[in-house]
Structures are given as C-alpha cells and as structure tokens.
C-alpha cells in the first residue's frame, strides 16, 4: 500500500475514491471524434461496467473545443490497476493513436461527504 498522508484517519482511507481527470488534446475536432467513437463502439460502456468504476464521463471545456475532459473515478487503486490491465486499455490506446491525441492528467483522492462542504453545496 502506498503511503497515506497523516491527515487521513484509517476510516477515511477505507472510503477513499480515486478520480483522474484526463484532458485529451487534439486538432480539427479529433478529440471530440475520439470521445464519440469511445461511446459508439461500446468501449466507454464496457469501462463503466468494470468492477470498481464509479464514473466515466466525457465533457467539452467551453474555452477549448479541441480538448475533451474525461472524469474517471474508481473505488480504489486496485480497481484502477485492474482497469489498466484490462483489454479496454489496448482498445482505448488504439483510438487515442488513431486520433493523434495528447494527454494531461490530474489525479485526486477524495473522502466521502466532508461535513464542512455541505454548507456550500446546493442539492
């Protein structure tokens, strides 16, 4: 197990979710075409159905139509590691190459429902 910062309790570590924001950058609409093919081919749905996947959604930033944002959340690192070894990754990599996309990644670890945040979130 990786080192967990001292600010987390043992209970918080048990309920952590791992989220990766992946920014796919392309040209001439290639990032959007990639996301559309991920959806139409069923690859995105297959990933959503993998054990431990909690979110797999594509978005288009308003200020950059040549970028697609993927928000990809997993129950824990083990689930993400299993996904990285899955056949879906090979298919995804082929599509990424087909559309000549370049990527940036941001990785977040979160705990569930921080009571301090509830005052700022309208449901």
Query: pLDDT for 65-97, tens place per residue?
Result: 999 999 999 999 999 999 999 998 999 999 999
Mean pLDDT of 86-110: 94
Domain count, the chain: 1
In a domain, 9, yes or no: no
In a domain, 116, yes or no: no
Burial of residue 74 (number of CB atoms within 10 Å: 0-12, 13-18, 19+): buried
In a domain, 3, yes or no: no
Q: Is the pLDDT of residue 3 over 50?
A: no
In a domain, 119, yes or no: no
Provide the residue range defining the domain that includes 59. Answer: 16-110
The predicted structure's pLDDT at residue 18: 94
The predicted structure's pLDDT at residue 111: 67
Q: Is the pLDDT of residue 16 over 80?
A: no
Mean pLDDT of 8-36: 83
pTM of the shown model? 0.79
Burial of residue 95 (number of CB atoms within 10 Å: 0-12, 13-18, 19+): middle
């Amino acid at each position: 197990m990786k080192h967990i910062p001292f600010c987390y309790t043992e209970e918080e570590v048990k309920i952590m979710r791992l989220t990766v924001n992946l920014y796919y950058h392309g040209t001439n609409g290639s990032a959007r075409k990639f996301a559309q093919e991920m959806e139409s081919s069923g690859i995105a749905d297959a990933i959503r159905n993998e054990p431990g996947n909690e979110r797999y959604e594509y978005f288009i930033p308003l200020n950059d139509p040549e970028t697609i944002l993927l928000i990809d959340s997993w129950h824990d690192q083990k689930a993400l590691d299993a996904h990285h070894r899955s056949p879906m990754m090979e298919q995804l990599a082929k599509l990424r190459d087909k559309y000549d996309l370049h990527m940036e990644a941001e990785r977040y670890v979160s705990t569930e429902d921080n009571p301090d945040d509830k005052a700022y979130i309208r449901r």
